[in-house]
Chains A and B, each alone.
Chain A
Amino acid sequence: MTREITYVQAIAEAIDEELERDEEVILFGEDVEEFGGNFGETEGLYEKHGRNRVRNTPLSEIGIAGMALGAAVGGIRPVAELQFADFAATAGDEVFNQIPKQPYVSGGQIEAPLTIFAPSGAGIGAGAQHSQSVHSWLGNVPGWVVVTATTPYDAKGLFKSAIRDNNPVFFLPHKMLSETKGEVPDEEYTLPLGEAAVEEDGEDVTVVATQLMFHRAKEAAAEVDADVEIVNPRTFAPLDTETIAESVRKTGRLVVVDETVERYGTQGHIANEIVENDFFSLDAPPKTIGVKDIPIPLSPPLEQEALPSADRIANGIESLF
C-alpha cells in the first residue's frame, strides 16, 4: 500500500523514523527545534524526540560540520542540517578538508558515519548565495558520498540510507521540490546508495537528470519526437556509471542535464565516462546542459535564463538526431 506525501514530509519522516529506530542518531542544525527548519523539513521532531536528540545550534556552519565530524568519530550518528547548500562553503575547511579526508588519512581507523543535509537548487528567487547546486563541488572531493533526491519516494528512502551508511554522506534535497507530492510505501523502506534508477524506459535517447531537472526533462520528453529513457543517478559520488552506460548502449544517444554550472559541472564528468568507456555505443556526440556560467541572479526572468528550461532540454535532445 502507498500513500501520498510531500517531499519535505518525506524528509521529516525519514529523520523521525531513524531517530526512533536508533538511539545513536541525533539531529542538529540552525532552527531545527520549534521553528521546524526553513522548509518544514524538521517539523514536529523536537516535540517528539526532545532537546537531547534534536538540537538547535548557534549560527555557524563551521561548528555544525566540525561538531558532526567529531560526534561521528566519537560513536554517534549525527544528522546535521545546513540551511542552504551554498553554506557548504562557509564551512569550507570542514566540508572539503576535514570530513572527507579524516577516514582516509587515518588508514581506515576513523569512521565518520555522519549525514549533512542541505536544501540546494535555484528557482525561488533566493539569489546568488542561496540558490546554488553544490554536488559538483562535493563530488570533486573523494570521501563524500553525494546524494540527491528527485521525488518524495527518493527523499525518504535515500535519506534513511544516508543516515545508516558508515561514510560521510552529503544529502541534497531541492528546495523547489519541497511541496511536490508523490507516493511512498506505507511500510518502512530504504533505497540503495550508489545506484542509479531508470525512471522512464525509452529506446532512442538517454537523458540523465535529477531533482528539478528530472521533472523538466520529463516535460521535454513529452515535447520531442523521440522515445526518451530517463536515468536518475540518485548518487553523484560514487557514481553508478554502469546503469547510465547500459542505457546508452541501448539508445545510442546521451543528454546529461544537471543544475550545476556547465563549466566543470557534473554533466561533463558523466558524459566523459561514457565517451571514454563506451564511445562506440554512441550514435551522436553527447550533449551536456547545465546552469549558464553565471552566478544565479535574483529576478525571476534572469533566474530562469540561467537554468536549463524544458525547451533547452528538448532542443538538446533534438540536436542529436
Chain B
Amino acid sequence: MTQNVSVDDDTARDLLEEMLRIDIFEEETKERFGEGEIPGFVHLSGGHEGSHVGMGAAMRDDDWLAVGGARLIGQYIAKGVPLPEIMAELYGRVGGSNKGHGGQMHVSDVDRRLYGHAATIGSGQNPAVGLGLAEEMKGTDNVAVTTIGDGGTSRGSFHTALVFAAYWDLPVVFIIENNEWAISTPAESLSPDHLSDYGIPHNMPTESIDGSDVEEVYHTVAEAIERARNGEGPTVIESRVVRLVPHFEGDKETYRDEEAYERAKEEKDPIENYRERLLENDVITEDELEDMVANIEAEVEEAVEFARESPEPEPEAAYDHVYQLPLYGQGEEQ
C-alpha cells in the first residue's frame, strides 16, 4: 500500500536528502575508521536517520539541541554543522568544530545552538533544562530539544530533568530514541509500555511514535516545540526506531536474534522506506535521486579531504581551554 506524503514536495526532498547525507557521511566514517584514520570509538546512526532528521527539520536555527544517547553523528548533521568540521573533529584535527578537543562524542557548535553531548549517557538532560531556563529568562521563545536512548532513561538524572522541567514548565522537548537496545540489554525488559510514559506522572503531554517515519517525527516534534514556544511546557516523545548497526564499530552483536534483525532491516529502514514513498508519489524521480546521491558523495569526499589536510594539533594545545584567563580580578581588563 502506498503511503501518502504529508509535507510539500520541497520539504519531502529535503528530508530524504538529509537522511541520505547522514547515511553517506557515516558509511564513509565507517570506512575511514576501519582504515585507522579516525581514533577512538565510532557509534553510527543506522536506523535512526528518520528520527534525527524529522527532529532537526522541526527545530528553528536558534533552538538548542543537547544530544544524548549513543547515536550522535547523525544529530550533529541534522543540526546543520558543516560536514568538514564534523569529519575533522572525528579525525581530531585543528579544523574540527572543537579543534580536536572533543572528538566523536563531543561535537559542539555553539553558534548553531548545538550544545554538544553528555558522553556519560543520561547527563545531558539537566543541562537542556538549564538551556530552556536561560531562554525563558532572556524572554525569547526558543526551546531546548534533548535526546536520549532507551538505556539512558534508567539514569536518575533523566528523571530529575523531568521533575525540574515540569516544576517551572520550561520549554524543553525530551525525545527518547528507543532502538530497543542499551548496548546488549533489551528495552523490552523496562516496565513502561512506552518509555514516554515516564512523562505521565509529571502531567506532561507524551507521545509514542514510529521514529523510522521521518514525517511522523517531524510533525510530532514540531507540535511539541510549538507548545513549548507558547509557554505550554515540556513534552516527552518516544521515537521508536531500530538500530541497524552495531552499538559501536567492532561490536559483534552476538546478543541479537538474526531473524528479527533481518526483518527489521527489511521493514524499518527509514531511508529505504522514504525513498520508495517519494518515488511512488512522484515527488522525486530516479534521475533526481541519483543526482542527489552523487552531490552528497562529493560533499562527503570534500569533508574527508578537509579533515585529512587539516593539521594535527600542536601538543601544547592540550593546555588550551581549561580556564579562561585571567581569572576575575587578575590582569588589567576588569
Contact = CB atoms under 8 A, between A and B. Distances in A.
Whether A and B are associated in the same complex: the answer reads: yes
Interface of A: 24, 26, 52, 55, 57-58, 60, 62-63, 65-76, 78, 93-94, 97-98, 102-111, 142-143, 145, 161-162, 164-167, 190-195, 235, 238
Contacts of B118: 97-98
A60 B163 contact: yes
Contacts of B116: 102, 105-106, 110
Contacts of B108: 102, 105-107, 109-110
B102 A107 contact: yes
Interface in B126-174: 126-135, 137-138, 144, 156-157, 160-161, 163-164, 167-168
A60 B164 contact: yes
Nearest to B109: A109
Interface of B: 64, 66, 96-103, 106, 108-111, 115-116, 118, 120, 123, 125-135, 137-138, 144, 156-157, 160-161, 163-164, 167-168, 320-324, 326-330, 334
Contact of B106 (A105, A191, A192): A105
Nearest to A111: B324
Q: Is the interface of B mostly helix, strand, loop or mixed?
A: mixed
Contact of B164 (A52, A58, A98, A192): A58
Given A57-B167, A66-B125, A107-B97, A76 B138 contact: yes
Nearest to B101: A107
Contacts of B167: 57-58
Contacts of A55: 168
A72 B130 CA distance: 8
A129 to B, nearest CB: 18
A23 B322 CA distance: 27
A63 B329 contact: no
Contact of A76 (B109, B134, B323): B134
A166 B106 contact: no
B327 A192 contact: yes
Contacts of B137: 24, 26, 52, 71, 76
13 contacts: A26-B137, A70-B132, A71-B131, A74-B134, A94-B126, A97-B120, A105-B101, A105-B106, A105-B108, A106-B98, A107-B97, A164-B328, A193-B328
A74 B64 contact: yes
A304 B326 CA distance: 39
B95 to A, nearest CB: 11
Contacts of B327: 145, 161, 165, 167, 192-194, 235, 238
Give the 3 A-B CB pairs with smallest separation, nearest first. Answer: A70-B130, A66-B126, A74-B134
Contacts of A166: 324, 328
Most buried by B among A65, A104, A238: A104
Contact of A62 (B97, B109, B156): B156
Contact of A104 (B123, B322, B329): B322
